[in-house]
Amino acid sequence: MNLKKVALRESWISPGHRLCAGCMAPVIIRQALYALDKKPIVTNATGCLEVATTIFPYTAWRVPWIHNAFENAAATASGIEAALTAFKRKGELKEDIPVIAIGGDGGTYDIGLQALSGAIERGHDFLYLLYDNEAYMNTGIQRSGGTPFTAWTTTTPVGTKIKGKVQWKKPIAKIVAAHRQIKYVATASPAYWLDLMQKVKKGVDVKGPAFIHAISTCPRGWRTDTKYSVKIARLAVQTCYFPLWEYENGKYKLSTPSKAIASNPEKKLKVEEFLKMQGRFRHLFKPRKDVETLNYIQEEIDKEWEKLLRLTGEA
Amino acid sequence: MISQQVLGMNGDEAVAYAVKQCNVDVVAAYPITPQTIIVEKFSEYVANREVHTEFVPVESEHSALSACVGASATGARVFTSTAANGLALMHEIVYIAASLRLPIVMAVVNRALSGPINIHCDHSDSMAERDSSWIQIYTEDAQEAYDSVIQAFKIAENHEVLLPVMVTLDGFFISHTLQNVSVLPDKEVLSFIGERRVVPEIDVGGKKFKLKLDPVQPLTFGPLDLYDYYFEHKRQQVEAMKKAPKVIEKVSREYASLSGRSYGNGLVEPYKLEDAEVAVVCLGSTSGTAKYVVDDLRKRGLNVGCLRVRTFRPFPAADIKRNLTGKEVVGVLDRSISFGGLGGPVFTEIEALFSDETEKPKIINYVYGLGGRDMSPQLIEKVFMELNELKGKPLPKDTLRFSGLRE
Ligand SMILES: Cc1ncc(C[n+]2csc(CCOP(=O)(O)OP(=O)(O)O)c2C)c(N)n1
């Protein structure tokens, strides 16, 4: 990847789309597309990104792009890849065209999980890029399988008896990594944009299915200040709430920002630092600090981090 | 007319054989009785590399049609097949495929929709998709199923049409019944439909872009389309459906001169209707039995005939009206029902056709064969006899009747 060249190239997702200020989804997509030297065919699940980039007759996409439905980005990608394979078999197509499926957390953890798992099991050569804003944002902030424990959403309100989401987030990237056919899995954060780009490049270059799970700050849904979106995406990594790692050839490996924490555990910030910037966790801090719950969350984060250290051979 | 090989095949095998001959790039399908043989048979062609097709053995019907959408938008010639619950699971994408104007061909092996769960034939599955903007061809036997799949690609890919096509065959009655099927030589099929699908070109800021997903000429498919344009796009689908009958008739004529086989004008098939006073209207395999009964009753001096509706979508209104005008009594046989509606879907449309006529046939609706119940010659004869009774009498109150039902 030649960054100088990249900097001079036009972005393959144009400005002028209608995503909110501070939304990290278009940042993730812009960087992901900058990582490629050839235009891919992109298929996008229903969700904020799809809706806000393509209000007819406008489009922000400078790559061939198709939206089919909410739960079938991976299945649509299967079909695109199958068509390209058939054209090659007939000798009508020579070059490799990357195929990328993009979905939000709802379209990936929940309604689209079956199609995703099926496409991976069949071994299609495509990259699935999950931008995880941790709720159904397009329909107005409802909980998903990717919404974290205690987070407020409109379907996990902070009531007098039940406060926010009762369940933990699904380990989606590890679920994907459990598929024998998967060739590459990585987590990413737009705050570490070069790391994200390198991972996208790897994911596209491997032959077979690849999956990238990117954390995507959503100021509307997370109740955060738009100017802190990148900072929050960085804190997610620094607190080990969202560690960065890769999985390849059956092995887990920490990525540089998380490896730095593994080597210098004192660099690990308390998860509170990540939570307290977000209105969706306000009930953990106001009217009084809910020390018990915060301690519990910290313990769970620590346990998960320890598990990851063992998986990556860092423990 | 060309010399043809005769193969002993059931309806499903005949469909798979036709698909093999059509140079299809992508088949994505999921098994469901009574369609499974199509998928199995086609998998064999793939395993033996008798086809260049990429077969996508998806994990659900929803994904089957979703993959077909992706492949077709990439410019591929695409086929899938399903039945009943599988088609219902696809429902969301059935509409999307049509609105994207993707010429996908799908064989629907008609089976009763659950519940209760049942594996046998009725038309509740495909009738539930009748408003989706897919062309629907209902076939009478395995031979016609074979012929119609080939015709379907030519119809769907016609630039005046660009609509997906459903070819239906009655579960078990056609899908699992062995028949002598005449097949065209491979190269004749390909010269008839074209070696490969030709994608139309569209104008993008003065440049010609191929209407497909292509990195060289990037286009956006399936954008958010709100009240300012959605309606116009739906109107375009109405126009495409309006243009389809001419194309279907033309394809039917061309196919007849190639193969020697035709099914009426491709839209409707009248049988001994001209001088008939009493007629039945039906779809699918029942028409084979109805024709047999017509012959039998005519020998016994009754003036009866039959009209088979081959394309239910587009609905061949003019052809049906022309064929039924002047008949005294008409029985419309429906193998599905619209609960709470006036009757079956075929009946309601035919009834509507004559709504503004003063001189119109007495039209009775017979709902029959739900869940695969056999429509025997005896039952059809009984229908004809009841209809015959109505000659010279006023239209009775009970226009919705059930044939072959224990009350
Ligand atoms: C089958 C189906 N169910 C529900 C919806 C409504 N819907 C559209 S987008 C969406 C949520 C999308 O959430 P996510 O995938 O997390 O993406 P985001 O909008 O947060 O970026 C829902 C529920 C739909 N379009 N289709």
Shortest-distance Cα residue to atom 7 of ligand 1: A139
Establish how many alpha carbons lie within 13 A of residue A239's alpha carbon, considering only the half-sphere containing its beta carbon: 20
- B365 and B339 both lie in a single domain: yes
Q: What is the mean pLDDT of residues A205-229?
A: 98
Q: What is the mean pLDDT of residues A228-249?
A: 98
> What secondary structure does DSSP assign to chain A, as a single string?
--HHHHHHSPPSB-TT--PPTT-SHHHHHHHHHHT-SSPPEEEE-SSHHHHHH-BTT---BSS-EEE--SS-HHHHHHHHHHHHHHHHHTTS--S---EEEEEEHIIIIITTHHHHHHHHHHT-S-EEEEEE-SSBTTTTSB--TTSPTT--BTTB-B-SS-BS--SPPP-HHHHHHTSTT--EEEEE-GGGHHHHHHHHHHHHHSSS-EEEEEE---HHHHT--GGGHHHHHHHHHHTTSS--EEEETTEEEE-HHHHHHHH-GGGPPPHHHHHTT-GGGGGGTSSS--HHHHHHHHHHHHHHHHHHHHHTT--
pLDDT at position A14, please? 97
A contact test, residue of B66, B78, B96 with most A CBs within 10 A: B66
Residue B187 phi, psi (nearest 5): -70, -25
Q: What is the mean pLDDT of residues A143-168?
A: 98
Residue from A136, A142, A147, A213 to probe ligand 1 pocket by mutation (most atoms less than 8 Å from CB): A136
The architecture CATH gives domain A3-312: 3-Layer(aba) Sandwich (3.40)
Contact in structure between A200 and A190 (CB atoms under 8 Å): no
What band does B1 get if pLDDT is binned at 50, 70 and 90? confident
Residue B11 phi, psi (nearest 5): -60, -40
pLDDT at position A2, please? 84
Q: Is there a domain that residue B222 lies in?
A: no
Going by their DSSP bridges, the two strands B362-368 and B400-403 should be labelled as parallel
pLDDT at position B137, please? 99
CB contact under 8 A, A79 and B66: yes
Query: Quick one: which of A195, A273, A216, A289 has its CA closest to A239?
Result: A273
| CA angle (A233, A235, A239) in 5-degree steps | 130
Interval B335-351: pLDDT, tens: 999 999 999 999 999 99
Domain end point (choices B232, B259, B286): B259
Among B56, B218, B229, select the one facing A79 at the smallest CB separation: B56
- B168 and B20 both lie in a single domain: yes
Question: Distances from the Cα of B61 to the Cαs of A86, A224, B69, B87, B406, in angstroms?
Answer: 21, 41, 12, 7, 35
Q: What is the DSSP letter of B144?
A: H
Residue A77 Cα to ligand 1 midpoint, Å, equals 18
d(CA A280, CA A137): 13
Q: How many residues does this entry show for chain A?
A: 315
pLDDT at position B103, please? 98
Return mean pLDDT, chain B.
98
- Run of H or E including B73: helix B61-73
What band does A290 get if pLDDT is binned at 50, 70 and 90? very high
pTM of the model: 0.98
Q: What is the CATH number of the domain that holds B383?
A: 3.40.50.920
- B336 and B275 both lie in a single domain: yes
Kindly list the protein residues whose Cβ atom lies closer than 6 A to any atom of ligand 1: A 46-49, 70-71, 103-107, 133, 136-139, 144
- Run of H or E including B298: helix B286-299
d(CA B166, CA B314): 11
Domain end point (choices B214, B230, B259): B259
Interval A95-106: pLDDT, tens: 999 999 999 999
Enter the tokens of residue B336.
């599905």
Contact in structure between A73 and A101 (CB atoms under 8 Å): yes
A145 pLDDT higher than 90: yes
pLDDT at position A158, please? 98
Establish how many alpha carbons lie within 13 A of residue B277's alpha carbon, considering only the half-sphere containing its beta carbon: 12
pLDDT at position A3, please? 87
Question: Distances from the Cα of A242 to the Cαs of A48, A143, A188, A230, in angstroms?
Answer: 22, 18, 9, 14
Contact in structure between B174 and B141 (CB atoms under 8 Å): yes
Please state whether B266 falls in left (phi above 0), alpha (psi between -120 and 50) or beta: left
Give me the number of domains chain B comprises.
2
CA distance A299 to chain B (A): 39
- B249 and B279 both lie in a single domain: no
pLDDT at position A315, please? 86
What band does A1 get if pLDDT is binned at 50, 70 and 90? confident
Please state whether B371 falls in left (phi above 0), alpha (psi between -120 and 50) or beta: left
- B254 and B309 both lie in a single domain: no
The domain containing residue B249 runs over which residues?
Answer: 5-199+241-259
Q: What is the mean pLDDT of residues B75-100?
A: 98
d(CA A149, CA B138): 53
The ipTM assigned to this model is: 0.98
- B191 and B274 both lie in a single domain: no
CB contact under 8 A, A68 and B28: no
Q: What is the mean pLDDT of residues B58-84?
A: 98
Interval A49-94: pLDDT, tens: 999 999 999 999 999 999 999 999 999 999 999 999 999 999 999 9
Per DSSP, what are the bridge partners of residue B7? B181
Position A151: which residue type? A
pLDDT at position A136, please? 98
Cis peptide before B314 (omega within 30 of 0): yes
What band does B25 get if pLDDT is binned at 50, 70 and 90? very high
Any idea which residue has 């030589």 for tokens? Answer: B185
Enter the tokens of residue B149.
């799949």
Q: What is the mean pLDDT of residues B91-118?
A: 98
pLDDT at position B377, please? 98
Buried b (16+ CB within 10 A) or exposed e, B358-395: eebbbbbbbbbbbebbebeeebbbebbebbbebeeeee
Atom of ligand 1 nearest to the CA of A137: 20
d(CA B60, CA B28): 10
Q: Is there a domain that residue B219 lies in?
A: no
B225 three-class SS:
coil
- B283 and B186 both lie in a single domain: no
Return mean pLDDT, chain A.
98
Please state whether B328 falls in left (phi above 0), alpha (psi between -120 and 50) or beta: alpha
pLDDT at position A305, please? 98
- Run of H or E including B323: helix B317-324
Enter the tokens of residue A93.
């197509």
Q: Is there a domain that residue B341 lies in?
A: yes
Per DSSP, what are the bridge partners of residue B167? B107, B137
Q: Which range, of A2-6, A64-68, A241-245, B81-85, averages the lowest pLDDT?
A: A2-6
- B142 and B283 both lie in a single domain: no
Q: What is the mean pLDDT of residues A106-133?
A: 98
Contact in structure between B68 and B26 (CB atoms under 8 Å): yes
Atom of ligand 1 nearest to the CA of A216: 21
User: Domain spans of chain A?
Assistant: 3-312
- B135 and B73 both lie in a single domain: yes
Contact in structure between B323 and B307 (CB atoms under 8 Å): yes
A contact test, residue of B46, B51, B54 with most A CBs within 10 A: B54
Q: What is the mean pLDDT of residues B135-153?
A: 98
| CA angle (B172, B265, B360) in 5-degree steps | 95
- B172 and B284 both lie in a single domain: no
Interval B173-191: pLDDT, tens: 999 999 999 999 999 999 9
Contact in structure between B75 and B213 (CB atoms under 8 Å): yes
Residue A116 phi, psi (nearest 5): -65, -50
Q: Is there a domain that residue B59 lies in?
A: yes
pLDDT at position B250, please? 98
Any idea which residue has 């809910």 for tokens? Answer: A290
Interval B285-302: pLDDT, tens: 999 999 999 999 999 999
A219 burial type by CB count under 10 A (0-12 exposed, 13-18 middle, 19+ buried): buried
CB contact under 8 A, A66 and B92: no
Contact in structure between B224 and A69 (CB atoms under 8 Å): no
Q: Is there a domain that residue B233 lies in?
A: no
Q: How would you list the strands of the sheet with B362-368, edge to edge?
A: B268-271, B304-309, B278-282, B329-334, B362-368, B400-403
d(CA B271, CA B278): 12
A288 pLDDT higher than 90: yes
- B277 and B170 both lie in a single domain: no
Number of H helices, E strands in chain B: 12, 18
The H-assigned helical ranges of B157-285 are 186-193, 230-259
Among A63, A82, A114, select the one facing B215 at the smallest CB separation: A63
Domain end point (choices B233, B259, B285): B259
Query: Which residue in chain A is spatially nearest to B58 when comparing CA positions?
Result: A118
Any idea which residue has 């389809």 for tokens? Answer: B244
d(CA A215, CA A43): 19
Query: Quick one: which of B303, B309, B231 has its CA closest to B265?
Result: B309
Among A64, A71, A121, select the one facing B218 at the smallest CB separation: A64
- B58 and B162 both lie in a single domain: yes
Establish how many alpha carbons lie within 13 A of residue B234's alpha carbon, considering only the half-sphere containing its beta carbon: 10
Q: What is the CATH number of the domain that holds B16?
A: 3.40.50.970
